[in-house]
């Protein structure tokens, strides 16, 4: 790891292993550019080595990259990060996907460094009163023990900010909201729709797409809704994007419904904007509380209708609130059919909504302003 020069330095500590050029990776690339424009160095710690394409572009933009694999024990992370920060000597350490309240925050006392956290996480729904009570006690107690050293806690939505008060009983002036941002230049409707449809062997059919096969993302709810959709719109293809260990069981369920010809599994793709562009609607039947939902913002940016369960921040993010529905396959099938029957309706306003509120430029500008304020 190289020694920093006399310029100011931001250390981004990210508990991720970049294996694709997703919207968070796009954020780091854009942030590096913005910091360089302001003569601020950017050092990034990843959990694992990023894929070559991400590493190359970050290095080209001027970032330094190193690896830090955190322990599940915060005390070990304290000592490891103490050594790293002493070597790099950044003015600010910015943590992404890390627990906000831990002993790590006492690094601010020993190293005279300012700490920022971005809370990207929603929370798992706890229906039992006992689980809610235990979780509330845990977070509230930790907030009292480890609040020291934190300069700012950035929440990626008002939903995330509100969880501190509603779920944990934490009232902190350090909380603020900066929405995640997406690359609106990348996420716009692709010009040759027919060529993309040909790539996936889609002819004169409606396309309903869903991203992620993980169970908590609710793809099984879409599969359960499919028969009712097909009865009303027989020429419909369901495009499922991503890979997961549950794929075989999903395929078996589709076979039981005798709908094999109506489903396409794309696997992982680096051209997700193509899928959005050919879709009549993108469905987000998530069963987890979404902190933000990049898929929603990306799809709206391509002028595609988004239908989502009323979960987490989705009502906050979606332009058309009438497309936020209750968590049921019946409600989902009815809304999809309604969307397909009105497939000619304009969605340009949704893209404008994303450009105005969730652009990567707006997000990185807000973070850069925060850093500059803390560096004064």
The pTM of the whole model exceeds 0.85: yes
143 SS3 class: helix
What whole-number distance in Å separates Cα of residue 42 and Cα of residue 44? 7
**Buried/exposed 275-298: b ≥16 CB within 10 Å, e otherwise:** bbbbbbbbbbbbbbbbbbbbbbbb
What whole-number distance in Å separates Cα of residue 289 and Cα of residue 286? 8
DSSP state of 187: S
Each residue's pLDDT, cut to its tens digit, for the chain (376 residues) gives 554 455 899 999 999 999 888 899 999 999 999 999 999 999 999 999 999 999 999 999 999 999 999 999 999 999 999 999 999 999 999 999 999 999 999 999 999 999 999 999 876 666 788 888 999 999 999 999 999 999 999 999 999 999 999 999 999 999 999 999 999 999 999 998 999 999 999 988 899 999 999 999 999 999 999 999 999 999 999 999 999 989 999 999 999 999 999 999 999 998 999 999 999 999 999 999 999 999 999 999 999 999 999 999 999 999 999 999 999 999 999 999 999 998 766 688 999 999 999 999 999 999 999 999 999 8
Q: Give the residue from 259, 269, 281, 257 showing the smallest Cα distance to 341.
A: 281
CATH of 8-181+359-375, one of 3.40.50.2000, 2.20.25.90, 3.40.50.720, 3.40.1260.10: 3.40.50.2000
CATH of 193-356, one of 3.40.50.1820, 3.40.630.10, 3.40.50.300, 3.40.50.2000: 3.40.50.2000
Q: How many residues does the chain have?
A: 376
Q: Give the residue from 331, 338, 291, 278 showing the smallest Cα distance to 308.
A: 331
Whether the Cβ atoms of residue 188 and residue 219 lie closer than 8 Å to each other: no
Name the residue ranges covered by the structural domains of the chain: 8-181+359-375, 193-356
What whole-number distance in Å separates Cα of residue 183 and Cα of residue 361? 8
Q: What is the DSSP string of 26-64?
A: HHHHHHHHHHHHTTEEEEEEESSPPPHHHHHHHHHHT-E
Please state whether 258 falls in left (phi above 0), alpha (psi between -120 and 50) or beta.
left
Give Cβ neighbours of residue 133 (< 8 Å, ≥ 6 apart). Answer: none
* Burial of 311 (C-beta count, 10 Å sphere; 0-12/13-18/19+): buried
Please name the helix (run of DSSP H) or strand (run of DSSP E) that holds residue 201, with its range, or none. Answer: none
Q: Please give the distance of CA 256 from its chain centroid, rounded to a whole number.
A: 33
Number of Cβ within a 10 Å radius of residue 317: 28
């Amino acid at each position: 790891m190289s020694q920093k020069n006399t310029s100011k330095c931001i250390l981004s500590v990210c508990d991720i292993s970049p294996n694709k050029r997703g919207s968070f990776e796009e954020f780091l690339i854009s942030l590096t550019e913005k910091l360089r424009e302001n003569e601020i160095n950017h050092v990034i710690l990843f959990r694992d080595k990023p894929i070559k394409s991400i590493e190359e572009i970050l290095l080209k933009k001027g970032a330094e990259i190193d690896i830090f694999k955190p322990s599940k024990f915060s005390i070990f992370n304290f000592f490891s990060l103490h050594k790293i920060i002493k070597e790099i000597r950044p003015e600010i350490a910015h943590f992404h996907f890390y627990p906000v309240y831990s002993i790590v925050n006492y690094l601010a006392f020993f190293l005279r460094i300012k700490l920022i956290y971005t809370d990207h996480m929603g929370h798992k729904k706890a229906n039992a009163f006992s689980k809610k009570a235990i979780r509330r006690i845990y977070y509230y107690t930790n907030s009292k023990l480890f609040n020291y050293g934190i300069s700012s806690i950035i929440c990626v939505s008002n939903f995330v900010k509100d969880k501190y008060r509603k779920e944990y009983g934490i009232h902190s002036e350090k909380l603020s909201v900066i929405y995640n941002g997406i690359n609106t230049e990348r996420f716009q409707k692709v010009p040759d729709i027919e060529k993309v449809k040909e790539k996936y062997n889609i002819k004169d059919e409606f396309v309903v797409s869903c991203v992620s096969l993980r169970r908590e993302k609710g793809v099984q709810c879409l599969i359960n809704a499919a028969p009712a959709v097909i009865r009303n719109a027989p020429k419909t293809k369901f495009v499922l994007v991503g890979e997961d260990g549950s794929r075989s069981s999903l395929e078996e369920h589709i076979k039981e419904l005798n709908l094999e010809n109506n489903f396409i599994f794309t696997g992982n793709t680096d051209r997700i904007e193509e899928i959005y562009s050919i879709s009549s609607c993108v469905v987000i039947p998530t069963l987890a509380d979404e902190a933000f939902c990049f898929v929603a913002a990306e799809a709206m940016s391509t002028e595609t209708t988004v239908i989502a369960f009323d979960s987490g921040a989705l009502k906050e993010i979606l332009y058309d609130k009438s497309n936020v529905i209750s968590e049921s396959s019946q409600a989902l099938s009815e809304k999809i059919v309604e969307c397909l029957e009105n497939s000619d309706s304009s969605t340009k306003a949704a893209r404008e909504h994303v450009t105005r509120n969730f652009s990567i430029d707006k997000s990185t500008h807000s973070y850069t302003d925060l850093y500059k304020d803390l560096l004064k």
